[in-house]
Amino acid sequence: MEIVVTGRHTQVKQRFRDVVETKMNRVTAIAPDAQRAQIVLTHEGNPRQADTAKRVEITVIAGRTVVRAEASSTDEFSALDMALDKLTLRLRRTRDRRKDHRRGYTNPVPVDLGVVAPEPEAEEVEEEPNNSPEAAVASDLGPGESVEVQVGDTPIVIRRKLHIAEPMSIDEALYEMELIGHDFFLFVNKETGRPSVVYHRHGWSYGVFEIDTPENVKKD
C-alpha cells in the first residue's frame, strides 16, 4: 500500500512518518486490497484552540471504496491514534457488509466512486494565503482534486472538491456517508435522477433533500 504523508501549515517530522508507517499495518490487516493511504497533518495556530491544535486526516482507497476519518488533539500522535480508531471501525463495517453480500443478504455493497485522483503532495511549509474566496471556486478541478483558501486574516477557510460518483439509492448514500464520517452526503438519486443530500438529524434519524428546478417540477 502506498502511504503519502503531507503537512498543512506545519512540517512533518520523520518520527511521525515512521509511526504512521508502522501503525498503518492496522489498515492492511483489515483491508488487504487497500491501494493508497493519504495522511494529512494540520497545525492550528490559534492558541485558544490548543486542545485541538493538531488534526490528522486519513483517506484510504481500498478496492472500489474510499474510507475517511479525522481527529484532533493536543499532539499529532494522539490525533493519529484517534483517527485510526475511527478508520479501522469503518473498514470493518465495509468488510462485514461485503461478507453479508456474498452470503446473499440484500444490503447493497458500496458503489463504484470512479477513479479517485490523489491530492497533489502539499508543501510542508505555510504558504501565503490568497485572501480571496473567489480563488476557491475559480479554478477547474479534476476528480478527487481540491482547493483550499483562507479568507484574509479571518479563521474562515473555504474548501472546494470535485466528487465523481455513479447514481445510487438513498440506502447506498447513507452507507457512503458513514464511511467518510460526515454528517451529510451529496449524491445523485438513481430513482429520480435529481441531485440529493442525505444528512444526520438526531439519534438514528436521517433526512433527505432533493434539488430540482421549477421548470422540471412543472414537467412532472
Q: What average pLDDT values come out for the chain (220 residues) when binned by 10 residues?
A: 90 93 90 89 76 87 82 92 90 71 48 45 48 56 66 74 78 79 83 86 80 72
Instruction: Supply the pLDDT for residue 108.
Output: 46
Instruction: Supply the pLDDT for residue 125.
Output: 44
CATH code given to domain 144-210? 3.30.505.50
Instruction: Supply the pLDDT for residue 112.
Output: 44
Domain boundaries, the chain: 2-103, 144-210
Q: Under a CB-based contact definition with an 8 Å cutoff, are residues 71 and 83 in contact?
A: yes
Task: Identify the residue whose cell numbers are 443530500.
Answer: 197
Instruction: Supply the pLDDT for residue 184.
Output: 82
Whole-model pTM: value is: 0.55
Name residue 22's amino acid. Answer: T
Instruction: Supply the pLDDT for residue 49.
Output: 67
CA nearest to 175, candidates 164, 166, 185, 163: 185
Report the DSSP pairing between strands 54-62 and 65-73: antiparallel
Report the DSSP pairing between strands 184-188 and 157-161: unpaired
The Cα–Cα gap between 21 and 1 comes to: 10
Highest CATH level, class, for 2-103: alpha beta
Q: Is 89 left (phi over 0), alpha (psi -120 to 50) or beta?
A: alpha
